[in-house]
Amino acid sequence: MMNYFITGIGTNVGKTVVSAILTECLNADYWKPIQSGVLEGKDSDTVKSLITNTQSAFHPETYLLKEPLSPHFAAKLDGIHIELKKIQLPETKNHLIIEGAGGLLVPINESNYVIDIAQQFDCEIVLVISSYLGCINHSLLSIDYLKRNHFKLKALIFNGEFEPEVKQAITHTVQNTLIIDIPTLSTLHKSQILEISQIIRAQNAL
Overall pTM surpassing 0.85 (yes/no): yes
CB 182 within 8 A of CB 158: yes
Helix 190-202 vs helix 43-50: crossing angle, to nearest 10: 80
Question: pLDDT tens-digit profile of 37-49?
Answer: 999 999 999 999 9
The answer for residues whose C-beta is within 8 angstroms of residue 88's C-beta and 6 or more apart is: 62
CB 49 within 8 A of CB 193: no
* CA atoms of 46 and 20, how far apart (whole Å): 8
Q: What is the total residue count of the chain?
A: 206
Question: pLDDT tens-digit profile of 39-90?
Answer: 999 999 999 999 999 999 999 999 999 999 999 999 999 999 999 999 999 9
Could you state, in order of their start, the residue ranges of all structural domains in the chain?
Answer: 3-202
Q: Is 50 helix (H, G, I), strand (E, B) or coil?
A: helix
Query: What's the confidence (pLDDT) of residue 187?
Result: 81
Q: How many CB atoms lie within 10 A of CB 155?
A: 21
* CA atoms of 40 and 136, how far apart (whole Å): 30
| Low-confidence residues of the chain: pLDDT under 50 | none
- Which residues does the annotation mark as catalytic? 32
Q: How many CB atoms lie within 10 A of CB 188?
A: 13
The answer for residues whose C-beta is within 8 angstroms of residue 21's C-beta and 6 or more apart is: 182, 193, 196, 197, 200
Query: What's the confidence (pLDDT) of residue 116?
Result: 98
State the Cα angle at 105 between 102 and 127, rounded to 5°: 60
Instruction: Tell the CATH superfamily of the 3-202 domain.
Output: P-loop containing nucleotide triphosphate hydrolases (3.40.50.300)
Q: Is 192 helix (H, G, I), strand (E, B) or coil?
A: helix
